[in-house]
A and B are shown apart, each in its own frame.
Chain A
Amino acid sequence: MSDFFNEMFQSGSVRPPYARLEDWVSAMPAALRSLKQAEAEALFRRIGITFAVYGEGGDPDRLIPFDMFPRVFSAMEWHRLERGVKQRARALNAFLADVYGRAEIIKAGRIPGHLVWGNEAFEKAVVGFLPPKSVFSHVVGIDLVRTGPDTFFVLEDNCRTPSGVSYMLENREIMMRMFPELFQQNRIEPVEQYPELLRRTLASVAPHKCEGDPCVVILTPGHYNSAYYEHSFLADLMGVELVEGQDLFVDGEFVWMRTTEGPRRVDVIYRRVDDAFLDPLCFRPDSMLGVPGLMDVYRSGGVSICSAPGAGVADDKAVYTHVPEMVRFYLGEEPILQNVPTWQCAKPDERRHVLENLSEMVVKEVHGSGGYGMLVGPKATREQIDAFRSRITAAPHNYIAQPTLALSTVPTFVEEGIAPRHVDLRPYCLVGERIELVPGGLTRVALTEGSLVVNSSQGGGVKDTWVLAG
């Protein structure tokens, strides 16, 4: 384990951000700990924060395991991360506005055109349309991993509808309820302003036809969706309606929702459904989730859709490699956050390198998500590696590969006390008239010893993430 950066313990001493947690954890007997853990679980269940998984049998309302040991950043550490995240969010949005406009970056030869125009996520339906304030991606979730005191890598960008922010908020709420003394001893930056900031961000991109106070709604696929809890939680804290496709209809130049008092005009839709399901007249004709005619209203400035249709082209795993180039091209700055070196299996040279070193690499599907369809070389069996070898050879353009990163660890409660477990971090950057980042994010932790996969679908858990005040 000595190869991994432990965020709390370094060569026998405790790093300053974690200083007060050492006493806290040593003063907690095992009996109290399991009591607290049970209390946390009961709280989660009562509040109803579950991750609904339908169609797999068993309990449809699963809890994502919550680990009570917090993950801590100093003010300095966070300051640098914040600048890096905001920089990246600006560059990604500039890229989107560009590729649906004059495509300068492609003309300049900095990104190959086929990566953009040939991409499944590229929406021809919005070419030439510039959304209000030139923003396509209003909530940018950037997945980060750490390998050393000052070394952070971006694992991937999420420009469409990154989920998980409700855990950031609830983890904090539960920690404050269970361990108020920790919040008296440590000066921890609050995160509870997130819903209000999100609402303001969305209102700031109201369409030009909107008069007065914009009506903002959240569009959900419905209560069978695994993230439904999050949708309803955010709607509640933002004080906006949570709508399904069936609640909306298009009449004339506008979108309306069905209310008990008759139709009400909707100005901004924070959608948590995929592009393909937004409008059956424009995208998938079989979609029951969407609103027929929505895209026409959108393109004529009658409603704003957040994230804008087509935003997905910026978070594609093949486009990812070029984000540092976007930062230089649009902002004229050097990237603050590093990309993980990535080999494109579509390129013969790089593919050869990947196939020769499979046992040391992480291989991902270009369009995959959630930790499915992924090979972690050092943890894989010979059979798994051979299976991936033939899959890559059969469809090389479907795969990218990255070196296996030495993900940092944070102490985590286990059977025997505390033990280091690998973590990542997803902060949520809000982009509207202004760019905002609340000091915190979602820390996911791989609860299995030695595991590097933090996805909740693969046995990962979550932690409260603290940023200490400077």
Chain B
Amino acid sequence: MLSRTADNLYWLARYLERAETAARFLAVGGRIALLPNVGQGNRAEWDALLLATGTADAFRQKYGEAVQRNLESHLFFDHDNPSSVANCITRARENGRIVRTALTTQVWDALNTAYQELRELERQPRSELSLTRLTDWTMRAAALVRGAIDATQLRNDGYDFLHIGYHLERGDSTARLLDVKYYVLLPRIEFVGSGLDNYQWTTLLRALSVHRAFHWAYGGEVTAAKIAHFLILNRQCPRALISCVDGVNHHLDRLARGYGRSTPAQTAARGLLAELADASPEQIFDEGLHEFLTRFIRDMTALGGRIGDSYLIGDLR
């Protein structure tokens, strides 16, 4: 397949997943803001959220105060924010339009419908749009595209590039969402693992749509150690870091088999997986959750670079 086509498919998936992440950020923030709070109100939660998205500076320059309405503008509507839902859906659709030939009608239909509905939402008065409506819509729109991909796309290399994009972005997203909790709950390293506020951890599980799943898997009391295990190391959890890295490996291996050759991308992905497979929650908390997540995000970015060099630029000889 054309390298440029592979690149468009990869980014199509990344943008969709990123749109979903923005919506999940909004959901976490909205839910935390419902907490009874003391002192400075919910400022700290929203600030933490912005830090984790990596767009805190841009936000402050444009909006100033971190209040819910501004956050909604920033994370959902603002095309100046590259990670906003509106921008991600638009970019995903643009990538899809470029590679119409590589998508089934159903996938294009779902993607294009998402874009048309987004434009409808953008025309509606903001007072009519609740935060839940925005986040639910985003997740549903993204799920429809994903469903169409799984139900109708040929299981060829294009399918692998889509899924590599999904898994890379999802790993990055889980790591960043986990990091919100670090900012909110554990500003100082000595609080790590103290099981301080279950309500807030639960909110994170809800935002990742794995709240019930967590209880199935672990039961009993919610502790930071269990959650870290679940979201980082448990292969049963579809959004766990290890599942995402596993997914990238799986699809890279399929590519290597199909193309009859392996590249530095496979080597890098295997290394990352091996490290996670050996890790324990204790080790992670010893290193420091924030430090661990920061390193993970950096490794995933590097892996993305390897995949780009090997397949998406077309310099392979």
Give the residue name and chain of the A residue nearest to B160 (CB): A260
Judging by beta carbons under 8 Å apart, are B4 and A246 in contact?
yes
Judging by beta carbons under 8 Å apart, are B112 and A48 in contact?
yes
Stretch from A32-40, A234-242, A334-342 contacting the other chain: A234-242
Judging by beta carbons under 8 Å apart, are A247 and B100 in contact?
no
Judging by beta carbons under 8 Å apart, are A232 and B316 in contact?
no
**Contact (A48, B3) CB under 8 Å given A260-B311, A261-B259:** no
Q: Is A46's CB within 8 Å of the partner chain B? A: yes
**Residue of A244, A246, A257, A260 with most chain B CB atoms under a 10 A cut-off:** A260
Judging by beta carbons under 8 Å apart, are B109 and A247 in contact?
no
- How many A residues have CB within 8 A of the partner chain? 24
Judging by beta carbons under 8 Å apart, are B98 and A259 in contact?
no
Judging by beta carbons under 8 Å apart, are A263 and B2 in contact?
no
**Interfacial chain A residues near B315, Cβ < 8 Å:** 258
**Residue of B2, B6, B112 with most chain A CB atoms under a 10 A cut-off:** B2
Which single member of A46, A47, A223, A258 contacts B2 (CB below 8 Å)? A258
**Interfacial chain B residues near A261, Cβ < 8 Å:** 1, 259, 316
Interface residues of A in 198-244 (CB under 8 A from B): 223, 228-229, 232-233, 235-236, 241-244
Judging by beta carbons under 8 Å apart, are A262 and B4 in contact?
no
Judging by beta carbons under 8 Å apart, are A48 and B314 in contact?
no
Q: Is B37's CB within 8 Å of the partner chain A? A: no
**Interfacial chain A residues near B98, Cβ < 8 Å:** 223, 232
**Interfacial chain B residues near A45, Cβ < 8 Å:** 112, 116
Distance from B286 Cβ to chain A, minimum over Cβ atoms (Å): 41
**Interfacial chain B residues near A247, Cβ < 8 Å:** 2-4, 314
Distance from B74 Cβ to chain A, minimum over Cβ atoms (Å): 25
Q: Is B97's CB within 8 Å of the partner chain A? A: yes
Interface residues of B in 1-50 (CB under 8 A from A): 1-6
Question: What is the 8 Å Cβ interface bit string for chain A, positions 23-62, against chain B (1 contact, 0 not)?
Answer: 0000000000000000000000111100000000000000
Q: Is B200's CB within 8 Å of the partner chain A? A: no
Judging by beta carbons under 8 Å apart, are A259 and B3 in contact?
yes
**Residue of B4, B98, B101 with most chain A CB atoms under a 10 A cut-off:** B101
Judging by beta carbons under 8 Å apart, are A258 and B314 in contact?
yes
**Interfacial chain B residues near A232, Cβ < 8 Å:** 97-101
Q: Is B257's CB within 8 Å of the partner chain A? A: no
Give the residue name and chain of the B residue nearest to A42 (CB): B116
Q: Is B113's CB within 8 Å of the partner chain A? A: yes
| Bound CA span A263–B317, Å | 7
Give the residue name and chain of the B residue nearest to A258 (CB): B314
Distance from B2 Cβ to chain A, minimum over Cβ atoms (Å): 6
**Interfacial chain B residues near A241, Cβ < 8 Å:** 2, 5, 101
**Interfacial chain B residues near A259, Cβ < 8 Å:** 1-3, 314
Q: Is B230's CB within 8 Å of the partner chain A? A: no
Distance from A469 Cβ to chain B, minimum over Cβ atoms (Å): 29
| Bound CA span A317–B259, Å | 51
Which single member of B94, B100, B314 contacts A236 (CB below 8 Å)? B100
Question: What is the 8 Å Cβ interface bit string for chain B, positions 97-116, against chain A (1 contact, 0 not)?
Answer: 11111000100110011001
| Bound CA span A244–B99, Å | 12
Q: Is B157's CB within 8 Å of the partner chain A? A: yes
**Interfacial chain B residues near A223, Cβ < 8 Å:** 94, 97-98
**Interfacial chain A residues near B113, Cβ < 8 Å:** 46
| Bound CA span A261–B314, Å | 8
| Bound CA span A455–B14, Å | 40
**Interfacial chain A residues near B116, Cβ < 8 Å:** 45
Question: What is the 8 Å Cβ interface bit string for chain B, positions 254-272, against chain A (1 contact, 0 not)?
Answer: 0100010000000000000
Judging by beta carbons under 8 Å apart, are A258 and B4 in contact?
yes
Which single member of B97, B100, B105, B157 contacts A260 (CB below 8 Å)? B157
| Bound CA span A243–B314, Å | 13
Give the residue name and chain of the B residue nearest to A220 (CB): B98
Interface residues of A in 357-388 (CB under 8 A from B): none
Distance from B114 Cβ to chain A, minimum over Cβ atoms (Å): 12
Judging by beta carbons under 8 Å apart, are A244 and B100 in contact?
no
| Bound CA span A236–B99, Å | 10
**Residue of A235, A247, A259, A263 with most chain B CB atoms under a 10 A cut-off:** A259
Judging by beta carbons under 8 Å apart, are B4 and A48 in contact?
no
Distance from B42 Cβ to chain A, minimum over Cβ atoms (Å): 39
| Bound CA span A260–B112, Å | 26
**Interfacial chain B residues near A235, Cβ < 8 Å:** 101
Which single member of A48, A243, A258, A263 contacts B97 (CB below 8 Å)? A48
Give the residue name and chain of the B residue nearest to A241 (CB): B2
Interface residues of A in 269-313 (CB under 8 A from B): none
**Interfacial chain B residues near A233, Cβ < 8 Å:** 100
Give the residue name and chain of the B residue nearest to A249 (CB): B314
**Interfacial chain B residues near A48, Cβ < 8 Å:** 97, 100, 108, 112
Give the residue name and chain of the A residue nearest to B3 (CB): A258
Question: What is the 8 Å Cβ interface bit string for chain B, positions 137-177, against chain A (1 contact, 0 not)?
Answer: 00000000000000000000100010000000000000000
| Bound CA span A233–B101, Å | 7
| Bound CA span A45–B120, Å | 14
| Bound CA span A167–B94, Å | 22
Give the residue name and chain of the A residue nearest to B101 (CB): A236
| Bound CA span A246–B116, Å | 30
Judging by beta carbons under 8 Å apart, are A260 and B101 in contact?
no
Distance from A37 Cβ to chain B, minimum over Cβ atoms (Å): 18
Give the residue name and chain of the B residue nearest to A238 (CB): B101
Which single member of B112, B255, B316 contacts A262 (CB below 8 Å)? B316
| Bound CA span A223–B95, Å | 10
Distance from B41 Cβ to chain A, minimum over Cβ atoms (Å): 42
Interface residues of B (CB under 8 A from A): 1-6, 94, 97-101, 105, 108-109, 112-113, 116, 157, 161, 255, 259, 311-317
Report, nearest first, the 5 A-B pairs whose CB atoms are least far apart: A258-B314, A236-B101, A232-B100, A258-B3, A260-B311
- Given contacts A243-B4, A259-B314, A262-B317, 9 further A-B pairs with CB under 8 A are A46-B112, A241-B5, A244-B4, A257-B2, A258-B3, A259-B2, A260-B6, A260-B311, A261-B259
Instruction: Enumerate 26 A-B pairs (CB-CB under 8 Å) in ascending A order.
Output: A46-B112, A46-B113, A47-B108, A223-B94, A228-B97, A232-B99, A232-B100, A232-B101, A241-B5, A241-B101, A243-B4, A244-B4, A246-B4, A247-B4, A247-B314, A258-B2, A258-B3, A259-B2, A259-B3, A259-B314, A260-B259, A260-B312, A260-B314, A260-B316, A261-B316, A262-B316
Interface residues of A (CB under 8 A from B): 45-48, 223, 228-229, 232-233, 235-236, 241-244, 246-247, 257-263
